Amino acid sequence: MTTLPSPVSPLDDLAGALRGRLLRPGDAGYAELAAPWNVAFRDPGPVAVVEALDAADVAAAVRCATAHGLQVAVQATGHGATGTAPGTILVHTGRMTELAITDGLVRAGAGVRWTDVLAATPDGLAGLTGSAPGVGVVGYLTGGGHGPLVRTFGVASDQVTAFEVVTGDGAVRRATATDNPALFWGLRGGKGALGIVTAVEFALVGLPSLLAGCLWFDGAAAASVLHRWREWTATLPEQATSSVAVVRLPPEAGPLGGRVSVAVRYAWVGDPDAGRRALDEAGFPVPVLGGVGPLPYAQIGSVHADPVDPMPVHEVSTLLAALPAEAVDAVLAAAGPAAECPQIVVEIRQLGGAAARPGEASAVGHRDAAYCLSAIGIAAPPTRPHGRALLAAVAPWSTGGRLPNFAASADPAEVARAYDPMTLSRLSTLVATYDPHGVIAAAAPVRAAVMQDR
């Protein structure tokens, strides 16, 4: 009796083409790699995880998805996760950790985190990380990058000089201002819609000195601190970037746990004495905790002290054209110490300065926004309606836009808010060019957003 060979599945073929591992549900390591940082999006999971070692592994996953009607999503740290649709292969780039710094230029693989870059950067130079350096370099830069020094140095993606990317047609491409320039335009700000970036190259900026820190105030001083902050930031020079946040930490979180607190985050580039004088002009009350002083740039993450451990969160965000006293009162009514507020943090970040300058043409928009309002809460029933109510309360001063790296979403309407109509239309055209078969999961909301506008 002749024994017929077992049919080979598409995933078996893919496994044989990889240098890295292919993990399926039930395999050791699958659950760990499939889980995002935001565990609110822990859904049934992808059909398989490709633990990629290089661009060829990524390209193999894309070609397999194209051949068998699947989609490909990507994550390194999982901070920007929005859920995995059925029939998705997840490319995990955490082992793509190439990192080289030469003559003020950085080349970073898709698995490199900002903490890696900060630790390797020579004194006097800085890579423009965000407030949470534990996130991946690639994901942050493809979303623009509005970090704690954004008013001084501008949007981080303006420092990018090149991408290595696998597009939806399975090709490995290099994109620069002169090689595939349209692709280069869209990768800066397009947040993964145009392909899976496997490496990025960017310039460091000169950082002579940094004065930075966080001042913590009791919640009873919230109205005084927020209104003083509003008046103070209206005249701050570009050397300063600041944000203010109403925070509700859990009871176990040290001396500020179980109470409402207000945090003023501050960073000043240049002469420390001038930075102290500028801070003194705010006239804040005496803080209950914290301080501002000279800070090694490698410790910039301590200013915001964002959580590190995975947690289930829900976020909302909007951009503000202005911050009059009435807008501050609206935020206090929704999130101040007397409010029934389920959010862990409600933050207003100051923009403007160098962030408002156009830089090289890219898909990063909304550069004229003055402030960014965001709220982050545990993903529980009261959090979503409260977030919607908060955005409605500040609607008179909102531009209607949002930044791609804030409040990640696969909702086409939310994705559309990150771009002006012309930018969204151009992104959609590029998606159709580089992802003709609809393989890249992050491209789907862009396609849908444009269709909704028609």
Q: How confident is the model at residue 255 (pLDDT cuts 50, 70, 90)?
A: confident
Burial 39-58 (b: 16+ CB within 10 A, else e): ebbbeebbbbbbbbbbbbbb
**130 CB contacts (<8 Å, ≥6 apart)?**
114, 140, 145, 146, 147, 148, 156, 405
- Looking at residue 183, what is its pLDDT? 98
- Looking at residue 80, what is its pLDDT? 85
- CA-closest candidate to residue 315, choices 418, 416, 408: 408
Residue 138, token pair as written in the block: 């690639």
Q: pLDDT, tens digit, for every residue of 50-87? A: 999 999 999 999 999 999 999 999 999 988 888 888 89
Find out whether 268 and 210 touch, Cβ atoms under 8 Å: yes
Q: How confident is the model at residue 2 (pLDDT cuts 50, 70, 90)?
A: very low
- Looking at residue 16, what is its pLDDT? 92
- Looking at residue 83, what is its pLDDT? 80
Q: Is 215 exposed, middle or buried (0-12, 13-18, 19+ CB in 10 A)?
A: buried
**CATH code at 71?**
3.30.43.10
Q: What is the CA radius of gyration of the chain?
A: 22
The whole domain housing 265 covers 210-412
Better-predicted residue by pLDDT, 42 or 97: 97
- Looking at residue 248, what is its pLDDT? 96
Q: How confident is the model at residue 360 (pLDDT cuts 50, 70, 90)?
A: confident
Of 70, 92, 114, the one marking the end of a domain is 92
- For tokens 């102290």, name the residue: 276
Residue 118, token pair as written in the block: 């900060």
Find out whether 375 and 342 touch, Cβ atoms under 8 Å: no
- For tokens 């399926």, name the residue: 24
Which strands form 260-269's sheet, in the order they lie side by side?
Answer: 289-294, 210-218, 260-269, 240-248, 343-350, 371-378, 313-320
Q: pLDDT, tens digit, for every residue of 214-239? A: 999 999 999 999 999 999 999 999 99
Residue 421 lies in a domain: no
Q: Report if pTM > 0.85.
A: yes
pLDDT of residue 453 exceeding 80:
no
pLDDT of residue 424 exceeding 70:
yes
CA–CA distance, 390 with 290 (Å, rounded to integer): 28
Q: pLDDT, tens digit, for every residue of 80-99? A: 888 888 899 999 999 999 99
CA–CA distance, 392 with 372 (Å, rounded to integer): 15
- Looking at residue 253, what is its pLDDT? 83
**278 CB contacts (<8 Å, ≥6 apart)?**
236, 237, 239, 240, 268
Q: What is the mean pLDDT of the chain?
A: 94
Residue 336 lies in a domain: yes
- Looking at residue 164, what is its pLDDT? 98
Residue 423 lies in a domain: no
Q: How many domains does the chain have?
A: 2
| Cβ neighbour number for residue 87 with a 10 Å cutoff | 13
pLDDT of residue 4 exceeding 60:
no
- CA-closest candidate to residue 267, choices 353, 325, 393, 195: 353
- Looking at residue 238, what is its pLDDT? 97
**64 CB contacts (<8 Å, ≥6 apart)?**
10, 11, 13, 14, 17, 70, 89
Residue 143 lies in a domain: no
Q: pLDDT, tens digit, for every residue of 344-356? A: 999 999 999 999 9
Residue 131 lies in a domain: no
**CATH code at 326?**
3.40.462.20
- Residue 398 and residue 253 share a domain: yes
- Looking at residue 327, what is its pLDDT? 98
- Looking at residue 454, what is its pLDDT? 57
Strands 240-248 and 260-269: antiparallel
Q: How confident is the model at residue 9 (pLDDT cuts 50, 70, 90)?
A: confident
Residue 326 lies in a domain: yes
- Residue 371 and residue 222 share a domain: yes
List the single range of 278-282, 317-321, 379-383 with lowest mean pLDDT: 379-383
Q: Is 252 exposed, middle or buried (0-12, 13-18, 19+ CB in 10 A)?
A: exposed
CA–CA distance, 220 with 349 (Å, rounded to integer): 21
Of 42, 63, 92, the one marking the end of a domain is 92
Residue 168 lies in a domain: no
Residue 388 lies in a domain: yes
Find out whether 75 and 93 touch, Cβ atoms under 8 Å: yes
- CA-closest candidate to residue 200, choices 107, 266, 265, 85: 107
- Looking at residue 86, what is its pLDDT? 86
Q: Is 374 exposed, middle or buried (0-12, 13-18, 19+ CB in 10 A)?
A: buried
Distances (CA, A) of 327 to 226, 312, 323: 10, 29, 6
